[in-house]
Amino acid sequence: MNRHDVLALLEAVRAGALAPQSALERLSTMPYEDAGFARIDHHRGLRLGIPEVIYAEGKSPDHVAEIFARTAAAGSDVLATRVSEAAWHAISARVPGAQFHSTARAATLRQPASHPAPAGTVAVLCAGTSDLPVAEEAAVTAEFLGAPVERFFDVGVAGLHRLLAHHETLQRCEVAIVCAGMEGALPSVVGGLVPAPVIAVPTSIGYGAAFGGVAALLGMLNSCSPNVTVVNIDNGFGAAIVATLIARKVRARAEVLPAQTVSS
């Protein structure tokens, strides 16, 4: 439940379209719901503008589906990451309206009355197609949170012309998420081309000396592009959360500034 949902609930009570008792029942699981094996934070959307997200890896399919269904029943949009096929089958049996994004390994549910906060455009880039699961996790997460996403896949430094072909489009993005394995060079190149924050995501792709993404991580942490920051290995989700929050602030400021200019 987010701020828009609570406001709509209160407006419905004021207009007489909803009984106070019904509104109370809707709010009864605030701030969290105790499911026995999990405490579901329904208040997070109000605090942060981002609903609680289900990290499915390590959870049983039944537990994932139960949390997903309870979150949906509370009226929230739902996102689950690192969803296995077994967990998806359990979710779809409980919540028929959910969608599965197989490459991203994510399941989502958008409520009919959903109103994600508007955001500026987020670019998601990946060096090679082996990085696609992480890049798609980032893209699906950002889209779920309401950000328009531009995808630029398989644009690694081994063929730099593939990236440069998109130079003009990249200039229009408010934030860039760049996923790369191997030596992790792509974020530095993007950082040198794009006048925007660049969130680098090292992936666990590469041969032995890549050390499961540690080589890319260290390379990105030592980037010579000052607008590059780094999240954890394979953490497309975390990169998308930060990118979307930045893009929301950019969009909100862009909407306020013209009004201030006119009034002055």
Domain assignment present for 196 = yes
What is the pTM assigned to this prediction? 0.83
**Model pLDDT, residue 259:** 56
The residue among 87, 109, 131 that closes a domain is: 109
18 & 81 share domain: yes
**Tell me, what CATH number does 168's domain have?**
3.40.50.1970
Answer with the one of 78, 109, 140 that is the final residue of a domain.
109
pLDDT in tens, 161-195: 999 999 999 999 999 999 999 999 999 999 999 99
Please say if the pLDDT value at position 138 is more than 70.
yes
**What local confidence, expressed as pLDDT, does residue 4 receive?**
64
Q: Residue 127: which pLDDT band, with cuts at 50, 70 and 90? A: very high
Question: Quick one: average pLDDT of 17-21?
Answer: 82
Beta strands in the chain (DSSP E): 32-34, 39-41, 54-55, 78-81, 99-101, 106-109, 122-126, 149-153, 175-180, 198-202, 228-230
Question: In terms of residue numbers, what domain contains 136?
Answer: 122-250
pLDDT in tens, 75-87: 788 999 999 999 9
Q: Are residues 79 and 175 in the same domain?
A: no
Sign of CA dihedral 209, 211, 217, 218: negative
Same domain, 143 and 233: yes
